[in-house]
Each structure stands twice: as C-alpha cells, then as structure tokens.
C-alpha cells in the first residue's frame, strides 16, 4: 500500500526537468528528520488523504486525476517515496503509469538507485533499515529520473544510532566514472545551507568525478517561516557558489512563484 499525502498539477520546480508541467504525487513517511524540510506534514503517513493498493485503485486514481490531461511528466516525491515499505505497490503503480501513458517519471528521493556505482562502506551506518540498494530491477531506467538529495545535516539522522558523517559521504560518493545510463537517469540535488556548506564543498571537490558534475544541482534553502528577502539573498549566495565550483544552479520555481503554499 502507498499512502498519498497530496497530489496536484504544477511545474517541476527543481533540477534538470525544471519548468516542465508535471503531476505531483507526494507519499507519506520519511525516516529522516531534516530541520530545513519544507514538507514536514509528510514525515508521517498517518494523515494521508487516500491510499492505493490494487489495480482498481490505480485505475480510479488515473481516471480521476490524470487521464487525457496535457502533461507527460509525473513526479513521485515525499516524504521518502522509495522507502522499502512502498516498493511492492509502488513498483506496480509505476508499471501501470508507464503502460497507461508512458509518462516520464521522476523520483525525488534520498536513496541511491544502483549499487554497481554507489555503495556505503562503513558498517557503523545501519542504513539497511532505511535504504534498499536494488532499485533498478523494480523501477528501471527508461524515462525515469532519480533525483537524489544527499543529506549531510546530522540532525536528519537523529533517530538512528552510530551514524557519522564519513559513512554518509561514503554512501553517496561516486566511486567510479558513471556510465551513460547513470548519467541519463541520476541527478544529485543539494540544498545549500550554512550548516552543511563545508561538507558540501568537500563532497563536490573530492567525491564526484568531473564527468558527473553537470548532473549536480545546488538550490537555496527555504527559510521557515518564509521570508522572500532572505530567500533571494540565499539565491545569490548559491549562484556564486555554483560559479565557483562549476555546478548547476537550480532555481525553485514553485518557491519563486508561490512561496511555501501547499499544492504548488
């Protein structure tokens, strides 16, 4: 069963598919506790507005919300959409969507999609209870983008024991040059935060190959409560950082247009 917290039609606000009209499906529950999260209502799945578990559920959701609409892009976000408890039903739902209209599907996730290229090496990071490595066999790569947001802010991991920054970096580090398949299906998307800028700098300098840097996006943190002046100043800081490091700046179109308004 997958539990949906909200779903809506908007523009993809971030990353490589920024600006594309997309249907957003936000699933509930996330094992991490990022203090800068702008979707805290989705950290738990207890207040979901509907759940999907059967083919009949898929068909009704599709006919009620997606059938014969102009968009060709679907964004599955969270929470953490690729949490292992979602796998079975989510895999079937994605298969249904691909058959129904061959949508391009983006997963906005903290998870790494392919253990052949990326792996964690420090056994003190008890990540097995949180992340499942073998995603490709379930979801594939054709017309699918994994937009991965590594988290270096240690507060995100406060519910887990024996986690350290080294193990987190080792998990997300790209250990060999990426293949064409990986380059077409994986982006890294970082939130620029004063708390993590030093770790982010180290990571982009030493942990990713030059050939992958065009797949790395950096976007401004959103102040909570939202303050447009602070946000715009942060945007300038992020733009300068991207120029210095040769990375791609990601706007947050939904924030630029609507602030933190839900359903945008």
pLDDT digits (tens, 9 = 90+) for 55-90: 999 999 999 999 999 999 999 999 989 887 887 899
pLDDT at 140 (0 to 100): 67
Q: Which domains are present in the chain?
A: 2-258 (3.20.20.70)
List b or e across 230-249, with b for residues whose CB sees 16 or more CB atoms inside 10 angstroms.
ebeebbeebeebbeeeebbb
Q: What is the pLDDT of residues 125-134, one digit of tens each?
A: 333 334 444 4
Q: Could you tell me which residue, 241 or 140, shows the higher pLDDT?
A: 241
Residue 257 phi/psi, 5° resolution?
-85, -45
- Report pTM: 0.90
CB atoms within 10 A of CB 41: 14
Q: Which two tokens stand for residue 108?
A: 């906005």
Average pLDDT value over all residues in the chain: 86
Is the distance from CB of 159 to CB of 33 less than 8 angstroms? yes
Share of residues in the chain with pLDDT > 70 (%):
89
CA–CA separation, 122 and 170 (whole Å): 7
DSSP helix/strand/coil, 25: strand
Is the distance from CB of 22 to CB of 74 less than 8 angstroms? yes
Q: Which two tokens stand for residue 79?
A: 């929470």
CA gyration radius, the chain = 18
Q: What is the pLDDT of residues 147-200, one digit of tens each?
A: 999 988 888 888 777 778 888 888 888 877 777 877 888 899 999 988 889 999
| Cα 97 to the center of its chain, rounded Å | 19
Nearest to 206 by CA among 234, 232, 245, 167: 245
């Amino acid at each position: 069963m997958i539990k949906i917290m909200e779903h809506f039609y908007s523009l993809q606000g971030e990353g490589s598919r920024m600006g594309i009209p997309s249907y957003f499906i936000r699933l509930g529950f996330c094992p991490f506790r990022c203090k800068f999260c702008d979707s805290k209502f989705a950290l738990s799945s207890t207040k979901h507005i509907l759940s999907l578990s059967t083919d009949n559920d898929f068909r009704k959701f599709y006919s009620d919300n997606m059938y014969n609409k102009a968009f060709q892009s679907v964004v599955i976000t969270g929470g953490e959409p690729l949490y292992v408890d979602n796998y079975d039903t989510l895999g079937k739902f994605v298969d249904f969507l691909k058959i129904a209209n061959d949508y391009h599907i983006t997963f906005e996730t903290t998870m790494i999609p392919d253990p052949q290229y990326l792996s964690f090496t420090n056994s003190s990071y008890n990540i097995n209870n949180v992340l499942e490595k073998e995603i490709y066999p379930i979801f594939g790569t054709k017309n699918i983008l994994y937009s991965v947001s590594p988290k270096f802010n240690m507060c995100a991991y406060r519910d887990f024991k024996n986690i350290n920054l080294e193990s987190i970096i080792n998990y997300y580090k790209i250990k060999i040059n990426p293949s064409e398949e990986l380059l077409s299906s994986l982006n890294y998307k970082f939130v620029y935060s004063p708390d993590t800028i030093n770790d982010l700098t180290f990571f982009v300098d030493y942990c990713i190959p030059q050939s992958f840097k065009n797949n790395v996006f950096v976007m401004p943190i959103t102040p909570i409560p939202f303050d447009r002046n602070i946000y715009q100043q942060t945007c300038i800081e992020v733009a300068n950082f991207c120029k210095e490091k040769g990375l791609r700046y990601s706007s947050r179109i939904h924030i630029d247009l609507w602030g933190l308004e839900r359903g945008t």
